[in-house]
Copies of this chain bind each other. A is one copy, B any other.
């Protein structure tokens, strides 16, 4: 894979001097994705499922083909892909349907301090409402979820494991395959936050054998406004929907309703049509490059970046053993927001703050950090420019008296 060439697929990288290292917040979008959405808007910008005229039939075909492509991408069945507003909405949907309908007082929900707020808070709040317990699996010294630690917190009352696949802050990959095997053996359900996994590494839901898994379009070269909830068909069959309304029912009476089969049962109203088409195009784009290659490339760049950071004094790295393209660090004595402005001046886009994962920072005992995240359009030159900027920033901070 040739990252230099891939840069040309993105208008923003062609038009601007930009070292974009904030993919973990949102990825850039290649032109082909925008073109696919524009084609929908220009050629048959009509509603789906509702019209029996040709134009609507074509829109429906494209929309449902998009679902098929996205299902294939994670090795799910067509019926197992529910479109949502985003990963956050998908993760909430699990807590608000399966959680509401299955948990009872005294039950235990296992989570981790690595979770993004969008996976932590729905279960934290559900636990409160249900008088269930929220149990944190202890992280190891590096900050990783381990199989051994997990085994220790599982009890007879554990009903679900809610774990991230890849930490958006430390870039660690959770050893999900053995963990989910243990869960299955104990009849425990699993909800997986794959918002930082699906864009960056091959994900196969059948092989993983998880019950629920969520991700967002905008982090994987797709548009804003769409996410995916994968759930096993038998669970979707059993669950009651959260939202009711048009397009999710077969028959409406004054006081009752017959709902459709999955996935439609969970998708009321006009769906994100252009967004689904755009996301399917993104999936095709990523598949063509190859997810294995993307994963290796990102990790290679992160490794170079870490080596570079280690050569500069007065910089602390929080995840020197990152498994992915995510690097987390700080300038000693400098608040990350002060730092980020220096990077901004060098056209390096970095994330500063708590990364919507305040418990990770609690674990690290810092109030905010800097995060660089690499993706397919980043090159070794980007890493060099990044490291050069770190070095000159360090000099500047020392000079002005931080």
**A residues at B contact (CB < 8 Å):** 11-12, 15, 18, 20, 22, 25-26, 28-29, 34, 38, 41-47, 50-56, 84-89, 91-92, 96, 113, 116-122, 124-125, 128, 134, 136, 216, 218, 223-227, 242-247, 249, 251-252, 254-257, 268-275, 337, 340-341, 343-344, 349-353, 356, 358-359, 362
Residues of B within 8 A of A242 (CB): 92, 96
- Complex CA–CA separation, A96 to B92 (angstroms): 13
Q: In the complex, are the beta carbons of A251 and B358 less than 8 A apart?
A: yes
Q: In the complex, are the beta carbons of B243 and A92 less than 8 A apart?
A: yes
Q: In the complex, are the beta carbons of B50 and A351 less than 8 A apart?
A: yes
Residues of B within 8 A of A120 (CB): 245, 252
Q: In the complex, are the beta carbons of B116 and A246 less than 8 A apart?
A: yes
Q: In the complex, what residue of chain B is closest to A241 when comparing beta carbons?
A: B125
Q: In the complex, what residue of chain B is closest to A350 when comparing beta carbons?
A: B53
Residues of B within 8 A of A92 (CB): 242-245, 268
Whole-angstrom distance between the Cβ of A93 and the nearest chain B Cβ:
9
How many copies, total? 2
Residues of B within 8 A of A41 (CB): 11-12, 29, 34, 223
Whole-angstrom distance between the Cβ of A125 and the nearest chain B Cβ:
5
Given contacts A52-B341, A53-B344, list 19 more A-B pairs with CB under 8 A: A22-B56, A25-B50, A28-B45, A29-B45, A38-B38, A46-B349, A50-B356, A53-B340, A53-B341, A55-B349, A85-B89, A85-B269, A88-B247, A113-B254, A117-B245, A121-B244, A122-B243, A128-B255, A225-B272
Q: In the complex, are the beta carbons of B269 and A88 less than 8 A apart?
A: yes
- Complex CA–CA separation, A42 to B270 (angstroms): 26
Q: In the complex, are the beta carbons of B245 and A351 less than 8 A apart?
A: no
Residues of B within 8 A of A12 (CB): 41-45
Residue contacts A-B, CB under 8 angstroms, 21 given: A12-B43, A22-B51, A25-B47, A25-B51, A25-B56, A28-B46, A29-B41, A34-B42, A41-B223, A51-B352, A53-B350, A85-B269, A92-B242, A92-B243, A92-B244, A117-B246, A118-B268, A121-B252, A128-B255, A254-B359, A254-B362
